[in-house]
C-alpha cells in the first residue's frame, strides 16, 4: 500500500521572527508554499514501504534544512507559532471567499501547522472509519499549547482550527461520524459544497468564482479526507512535530491500515481495540470524548493513553513537545522567538540522528 507524508513548518529568521520562505519553495518539487507567508509544506512522493518512506522523508528534510541554512532561515516544528504579530495570507480568490464566508474566524487557520498522512485507497469505507477512530491519536504529536501567547489547550492548533475557525461550519472542519459506504461520504461532500456555495453567494460572491475555486472534493478541511491524488485517504489530525515522532506515528498508523486487508472491522461499545483477529471501533460519541481529552489534556489523560495503547500505539515512545513548552499562562513575543529558535535547532539534531540510524 503506497503512503506519503506532508508536514508544514514555520519559517523564521536568525532572530526567531516569522519570515517568508523565499527560495525555499522554489528549488524542489517536494516543497510548496502554504496559504500564509511564513509557512511551507514538505511533501514526499508516494512510497510502497515504510522503510522507503522513512528514508525519502529524512533525505528530503535534510536537503530542505541545508537550503534553509544557506538562506539564514530556520524551520520550526511547532503546531502554532506560540505568539507573533499578524500573519499575512497569500492573496488568492479561494482565500478571499473563505474569509467572506467564515468571517473573522478564518483568521484562526493562519496560526496552524500540521502533519498529514496519505494512504492509498483500498478498503475505503474501513479506512475512513478506522482513521476516524484514531483521531484521538493527535495527542501523540501535540506540539504547542499556546495561541497568540495565551495558554489555550494541550493542542492549541487542534482547538483553534476545529472549534474556532469552523465554529459555525462544523461539518466543514470537524470530525465526521462513521459511514456505511463511500457513497454516503461523497453525498455528504455534495451537500456541504451546496451549503458553502449558498453561504458564499449570500455574502455576495459570484457563482462563477465559487465554481472556479472549489469543488465537492476540496470543500472540507476535516481531519479525515478523501483525495483524488494517488488517490488516497488523508489523515490530517496531528500537529507538526519532530520527524522522529512523525515517523513513529506513521509506522503505527500504517500497521493498522495494513490489518484492514484481513481483519474484520466492527463498531460497538466504548472500549475499542486492535488485535490480530479484528478491529473494534468504539461508538462515535466515545471517540469524540477521547478527541476532547486529546485536545485539552493530551497524554496526561490516563484514559486516553489506555485507549491509544489498545488501538495499536506504543504511547511510551512518544514525547509530545507540548510537555516541554507548557508551564506558563502566557508566552511573550520575545519568549516565543527564543522557543522557535530552540526547536528549530531540535529539528536539525533530530534529522541528524535519523540520518545516522
Distance CA 130, CA 116 (A): 16
Q: Could you report the per-residue pLDDT of 222-235, keeping only the tens digit for each?
A: 999 999 877 999 99
| Share of residues in the chain with pLDDT > 70 (%) | 100
pLDDT at res. 341: 98
pLDDT for 274: 96
CA distance 13 to 71: 9
Give the mean model confidence (pLDDT) for residues 44-58.
Answer: 97
Per-residue model confidence (pLDDT) at position 228: 84
Three-state DSSP state, 187? helix
Instruction: Provide the grid cell at 93.
Output: 480568490
Domain range for 277 is: 3-356
Indicate whether 156 pLDDT > 90.
yes
Residue 303 is predicted with a pLDDT of 98
- Residue 217 has a pLDDT of 87
Confidence grade of residue 128 (pLDDT, cut at 50, 70, 90): very high
Q: How confident is the model at residue 276 (pLDDT cuts 50, 70, 90)?
A: confident
Indicate whether this model's pTM tops 0.75. yes
Confidence of residue 316 (pLDDT cuts 50, 70, 90): very high
Q: Find cell 495558554 and name the residue.
A: 151
Is residue 246's pLDDT more than 80?
Answer: yes
CATH value at residue 116: 3.30.590.20
pLDDT greater than 90 at residue 44: yes
- Residue 230: the pLDDT is 79
C-alpha to C-alpha distance for 186 and 197, rounded to whole angstroms? 16
pLDDT at 357 over 90: no
CA–CA dist 188, 222 (Å, integer): 12
Mean pLDDT, the chain, as a whole number? 96
- What's the pLDDT at 277? 87
Which of 172, 162, 175, 158 lies closest to 113, judged by CA? 158
- Mean pLDDT (whole number) for 49-61: 98
Of the candidates 148, 155, 174, the residue with the CA atom closest to the CA atom of residue 163: 174
Instruction: Tell me the pairing of strands 278-281 and 264-267.
Output: parallel
Query: Which one is predicted more confidently, 261 or 183?
Result: 183
DSSP string, 336-349: HHHHHHHHHHHHHH
What is the Cα–Cα distance from 187 to 346, expressed in whole angstroms? 44
In the chain, what percentage of residues exceed pLDDT 90? 96
pLDDT surpasses 80 at 209? yes
Q: 28: cis peptide before it, omega within 30°?
A: no
Number of domains in the chain: 1
Residues 60 and 30 sit within 8 Å (Cβ to Cβ): yes
How far apart, in whole angstroms, are the C-alpha atoms of residue 171 and residue 193? Answer: 11
Query: Can you give the pLDDT at residue 182?
Result: 95
- Per DSSP (E only), the strands in the chain are 3-12, 31-33, 39-43, 74-76, 115-120, 146-147, 150-151, 224-227, 232-235, 264-267, 273-274, 278-281
Q: What is the mean pLDDT of residues 142-149?
A: 98
Q: Which pLDDT does position 282 carry in this prediction?
A: 98
* pLDDT, mean of residues 338-355: 98
pLDDT at 294: 98
Amino acid at each position: 500500500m503506497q503512503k506519503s507524508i506532508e508536514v508544514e513548518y514555520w519559517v523564521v529568521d536568525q532572530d526567531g521572527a516569522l519570515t517568508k520562505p523565499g527560495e525555499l519553495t522554489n528549488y524542489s518539487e517536494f516543497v510548496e508554499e502554504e496559504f500564509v507567508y511564513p509557512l511551507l509544506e514538505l511533501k514526499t512522493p508516494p512510497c510502497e514501504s515504510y522503510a522507503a518512506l522513512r528514508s525519502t522523508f529524512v533525505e528530503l528534510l535534510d536537503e530542505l534544512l541545508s537550503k534553509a541554512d544557506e538562506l539564514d532561515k530556520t524551520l520550526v516544528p511547532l503546531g502554532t507559532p506560540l505568539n507573533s504579530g499578524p500573519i499575512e495570507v497569500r492573496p488568492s480568490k479561494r482565500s478571499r471567499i473563505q474569509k467572506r464566508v467564515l468571517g473573522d474566524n478564518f483568521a484562526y487557520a493562519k496560526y496552524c501547522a500540521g502533519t498529514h498522512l496519505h494512504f492509498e485507497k483500498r478498503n475505503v469505507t474501513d479506512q475512513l472509519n478506522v482513521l476516524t477512530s484514531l483521531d484521538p491519536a493527535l495527542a501523540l504529536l501535540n506540539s504547542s499549547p499556546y495561541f497568540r501567547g495565551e495558554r489555550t489547550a494541550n493542542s492549541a492548533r487542534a482547538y483553534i482550527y476545529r472549534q474556532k475557525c469552523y465554529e459555525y461550519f462544523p461539518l466543514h472542519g470537524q470530525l465526521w461520524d462513521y459511514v456505511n459506504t463511500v457513497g454516503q461520504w461523497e453525498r455528504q461532500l455534495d451537500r456541504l459544497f451546496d451549503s458553502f456555495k449558498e453561504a458564499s453567494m449570500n455574502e455576495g460572491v459570484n457563482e462563477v468564482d465559487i465554481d472556479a475555486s472549489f469543488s465537492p472534493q476540496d470543500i472540507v478541511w476535516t481531519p479525515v479526507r478523501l483525495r483524488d491524488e494517488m488517490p488516497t485517504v488523508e489523515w490530517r489530525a496531528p500537529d507538526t512535530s519532530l520527524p522522529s515522532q512523525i515517523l513513529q506515528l506513521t509506522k503505527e498508523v500504517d500497521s493498522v491500515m495494513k490489518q484492514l486487508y484481513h481483519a474484520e472491522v466492527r463498531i460497538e461499545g466504548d472500549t475499542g481495540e486492535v488485535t490480530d483477529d479484528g478491529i473494534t471501533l468504539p461508538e462515535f460519541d466515545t471517540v469524540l470524548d477521547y478527541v476532547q481529552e486529546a485536545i485539552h489534556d493530551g497524554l496526561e489523560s490516563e484514559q486516553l493513553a489506555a485507549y491509544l495503547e489498545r488501538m495499536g500505539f506504543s504511547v511510551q515512545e512518544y514525547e509530545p513537545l507540548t510537555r516541554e513548552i507548557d508551564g506558563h499562562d502566557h508566552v511573550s513575543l520575545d519568549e516565543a522567538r527564543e522557543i522557535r529558535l530552540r526547536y528549530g535547532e531540535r529539528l536539525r539534531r533530530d534529522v541528524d540522528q535519523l540520518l545516522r540510524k
